[in-house]
């Protein structure tokens, strides 16, 4: 079984992979750009708008569906636009410095840098996107939770994330934002839903084999919103089970997980 030290050693590897993604100007401007909130993409086009009404107080990542968490953060550019509407002070996000730690376990924190993209006009709000959890780290978290489930321990954990954005102004010079804190609940299979109408009674039950139009279409499977099991067939966590034998019968793993899907 992978130890916590092993998991977070993998986090260190992510720091090396991400090095250099952000601006490292010797004297970036602080206070010119602030982070307002991480927001949830809005259906049906799943775009993220600079709308504080869609702010998330905390996030959810189901590593059974995705080992990557893409975050959209509202940024505010405090530079005042001039009378001619000059674009010289447009704030352009280029990177994110992220620190992740597992608060409950009091483990050491690890930091890494990733690319960010987005902008905000002078005196206005904008949105910048970045990987809060890159696949290299999400995969490590998956391994740890999977091992915990097989050992009869907790099937979820909370990751504490702290983020600072960096970037440049269109006219030149760089900026560094304030820090935003964001708790992220990470689980294995917890976001998969098994609607009653997804069961085909002509096959052994439980199953998710009945054809039909899913009622849930998540913008980002594994993030925030539930996912209809019919959208992820072939993934063990999307195969419903009541006992371990259901998973063996379906060829979807050996263990029935705590969320009602196979592992």
Specify the pLDDT at position 148: 87
CATH of the domain at 164: 2.60.40
Answer whether residue 237 is part of any domain.
yes
Euclidean distance between CA atoms 86 and 91, whole angstroms: 12
Q: Compute φ and ψ for 12, nearest 5 degrees.
A: -60, -40
pLDDT band at 214 (very low <50, low <70, confident <90, very high): confident
Burial class (CB in 10 A: 0-12, 13-18, 19+), 243: exposed
Lowest-pLDDT range of 86-90, 101-105, 186-190: 101-105
pLDDT band at 44 (very low <50, low <70, confident <90, very high): confident
Compute the Cα dihedral for 220, 223, 225, 227 and give only its sign.
positive
Task: Kindly state whether residues 175 and 199 are assigned to the same domain.
Answer: no
Domain coverage including residue 74:
4-18+31-187
65 in the same domain as 89: yes
Q: Say if 23 falls within a structural domain.
A: no
- The answer on 176 and 95 residing in a single domain is yes
The number of domains in the chain is 2
Q: List, for residues 112-145, the tens digit of each pLDDT value.
A: 999 999 999 999 999 999 999 999 999 988 998 9
Q: Which of 144, 160, 187 lies at the terminal end of a domain, its last residue?
A: 187
Query: pLDDT tens, 159-193?
Result: 999 999 999 999 899 999 999 999 999 999 999 99
**Shared domain check, 84 and 14:** yes
Is 126 found in the same domain as 52? yes
> Beta partners for 240?
261
In a domain, 148, yes or no: yes
Domain's final residue, options 144, 162, 187:
187
Average pLDDT, the chain: 85
pLDDT at 128: 98
Question: Is residue 160 a part of any domain in this protein?
Answer: yes
Q: Are residues 63 and 80 part of one domain? A: yes
pLDDT of 19 strictly over 90:
no
24, part of any domain: no
Residues 213 and 118 in one domain: no
Structure tokens at 263: 């592992």
DSSP structure class, residue 103? G
Claim to verify: residue 93 and residue 217 sit in the same structural domain: no
Q: Are the beta carbons of 86 and 96 closer than 8 angstroms?
A: no
Question: 91 with 214, same domain?
Answer: no
CA distances from 17 to 12, 107, 109, 150 (A): 9, 21, 17, 30
- Establish if 26 belongs to a structural domain: no
139 and 11 in one domain? yes
Note the pLDDT of residue 62: 97
pLDDT digits (tens, 9 = 90+) for 186-199: 999 999 999 888 98
What pLDDT is stored for residue 1 in this prediction? 41
Determine the pLDDT at residue 7: 41
Residues 175 and 236 in one domain: no
What are the distances in angstroms from CA 169 to CA 15, 22, 29, 92, 126? 26, 14, 10, 6, 14
The answer to whether residues 209 and 245 belong to one domain is yes
Q: Which residue is it, tokens 């590593």?
A: 63
**Domain final residue pick, 165, 187, 209:** 187
The pair of three-digit structure tokens given for residue 73, joined into one six-digit string: 């953060």
The pLDDT score that the predictor gives to residue 220 is 94
25, part of any domain:
no
- Cβ contact 175:33 at 8 Å: yes
pLDDT band at 254 (very low <50, low <70, confident <90, very high): confident
């Amino acid at each position: 079984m992978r130890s916590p030290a092993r998991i977070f050693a993998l986090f260190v590897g992510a720091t090396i992979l991400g090095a250099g993604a952000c601006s490292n100007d010797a004297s970036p401007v602080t206070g010119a750009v602030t982070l307002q909130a991480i927001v949830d993409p809005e259906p049906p086009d799943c775009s993220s708008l600079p709308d504080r009404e869609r702010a998330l107080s905390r996030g959810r990542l189901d590593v059974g569906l995705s080992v990557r968490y893409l975050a959209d953060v509202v940024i505010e550019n405090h530079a005042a636009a001039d009378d001619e509407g000059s674009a010289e002070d447009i704030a352009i996000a280029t990177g994110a410095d992220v620190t992740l730690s597992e608060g409950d376990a009091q483990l050491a924190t690890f930091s890494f840098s990733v690319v960010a993209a987005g902008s905000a006009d002078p005196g206005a709000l904008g949105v910048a996107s970045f990987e809060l959890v890159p696949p290299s780290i999400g995969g490590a978290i998956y391994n740890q939770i999977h091992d915990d489930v097989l050992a009869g321990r907790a099937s979820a954990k909370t990751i504490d994330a702290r983020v600072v954005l960096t970037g440049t102004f269109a006219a030149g010079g760089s900026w560094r934002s304030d820090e935003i804190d964001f708790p992220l609940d990470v689980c294995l299979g917890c976001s998969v839903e098994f609607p009653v109408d997804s069961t085909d009674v002509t096959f052994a039950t439980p199953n998710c084999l009945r054809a039909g139009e899913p009622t849930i279409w998540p913008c980002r499977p594994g993030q925030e919103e539930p996912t209809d099991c019919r959208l992820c067939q072939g993934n063990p966590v999307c195969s419903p089970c009541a006992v371990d034998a259901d998973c063996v019968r379906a060829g979807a793993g050996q263990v029935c997980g705590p969320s009602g899907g196979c592992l």
